[in-house]
């Protein structure tokens, strides 16, 4: 007997983002990294006056999503974040809220933060990910674009050296 499935695209469900993101998803592992150091690193770039800013941790996590998941551009990453529940969960952006616009991201990285702070923050994030074995060594291909990974033959530990090629210049492509 032929069965035709009726699609229900406006189904109302009672669930949280936490319920919908698999426990084994990489963003769950990335979320175990403590990103609070970013606030201290960038606080001097913000004024006490004016309207509230977008959370700087979200800005850096967006770039992290772009690089780890091999998304070609920030614009494409933002489109992916709009529809990907795991990315929204990682960024703490509920479905009822909008994803930051490209102009917000580019203005922050082009006008607010300098090149050195971006390199410094990502070096700390990557070091934490390696030390906690959140990202397996075989999945660290994206890091080689921006940093030189060195493996100590005696201790078998990875170390990171900043590559001459600028992470900052390639981030917003």
Tens digit of pLDDT for each residue in 9-51?
Answer: 777 788 898 999 999 999 999 999 999 999 999 999 988 888 8
In a domain, 32, yes or no: yes
Closest alpha carbon to 122 in 31, 56, 38: 38
Taken in order 133, 138, 139, 140, the sign of the CA dihedral is positive
Angle, helix 115-131 to helix 56-68, in steps of 10 degrees:
70
The answer as to whether 115 is a domain residue is yes
- Residue 49 located in a structural domain: no
Number of domains in the chain: 1
Measuring CA to CA, how many Å separate 77 from each of 63, 81, 99, 105, 172? 8, 6, 10, 11, 11
In a domain, residue 34? The reply is: yes
Report yes or no on 6 lying in a domain.
no
Q: Are 129 and 135 a contacting pair, CB within 8 Å?
A: yes
Q: State the pTM of this model.
A: 0.80
Q: Which domain holds residue 123?
A: 24-40+54-171
In a domain, 13, yes or no: no
């Amino acid at each position: 007997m032929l069965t035709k499935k009726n699609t229900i695209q406006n189904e109302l469900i009672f669930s949280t983002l936490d319920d919908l993101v698999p426990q084994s998803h990489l963003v769950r592992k990335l979320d175990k990294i403590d990103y609070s150091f970013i606030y201290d690193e960038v606080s001097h770039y913000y004024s006490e006056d004016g309207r509230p800013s977008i959370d700087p941790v979200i800005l850096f996590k967006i770039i992290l999503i772009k690089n780890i998941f091999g998304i070609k551009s920030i614009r494409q990453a933002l489109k992916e974040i709009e529809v990907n529940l795991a990315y929204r969960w990682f960024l703490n952006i509920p479905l009822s809220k909008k994803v930051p616009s490209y102009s917000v991201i580019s203005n922050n990285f082009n006008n607010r933060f300098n090149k050195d702070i971006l390199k410094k923050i990502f070096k700390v994030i990557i070091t934490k990910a390696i030390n906690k074995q959140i990202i397996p060594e075989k999945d660290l291909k994206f890091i080689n674009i921006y940093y030189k990974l060195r493996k100590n033959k005696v201790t078998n530990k990875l170390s990171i050296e900043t590559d001459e090629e600028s992470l900052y210049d390639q981030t917003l492509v």
